[in-house]
Amino acid sequence: MGEDKKEEVCCCCEKHKERSDKEYRDLMNRLKRIEGQVRGIQGMLEKDAYCIDILVQVSAINAALNSFNKKLLANHIGTCVAENIREGHDEVIQELVDVLPKLMK
């Protein structure tokens, strides 16, 4: 693993993905912002904030998670899927087809 790459190992399988520092930082920054938003909602709940105000913030978190998923999916298609297809591993297409319904709930 080089200095400009971060390797992420999936906790449920043997697959892994090397990410550039830029991609890694972008995804981590997005997750940290989402984490901060969740903590903000916890604070709102502790301070008995109005339900609608909390719901609006939950909606913002959902939008941020969807944005994270879109970015990760675009990166996945552009790298993992494309590379696997070029190498003749077409099963990656079915893997993608199987995960899309889970992302579209």
What does the pLDDT average to over 8-19?
A: 63
**pLDDT for 17:** 85
Domains and their CATH numbers in the chain: 5-103 (1.20.58.1000)
Evaluate if residue 22 carries a pLDDT over 70.
Answer: yes
Contact present, 79 and 18 (Cβ < 8 Å) = no
* Polymer length in residues for the chain: 105
Q: How confident is the model at residue 5 (pLDDT cuts 50, 70, 90)?
A: very low
Pairing between β-strand 5-9 and β-strand 16-20 as defined by DSSP bridges = antiparallel
Q: How confident is the model at residue 54 (pLDDT cuts 50, 70, 90)?
A: very high
DSSP secondary structure letters along 37-78: HHHHHHHHHHTT--HHHHHHHHHHHHHHHHHHHHHHHHHHII
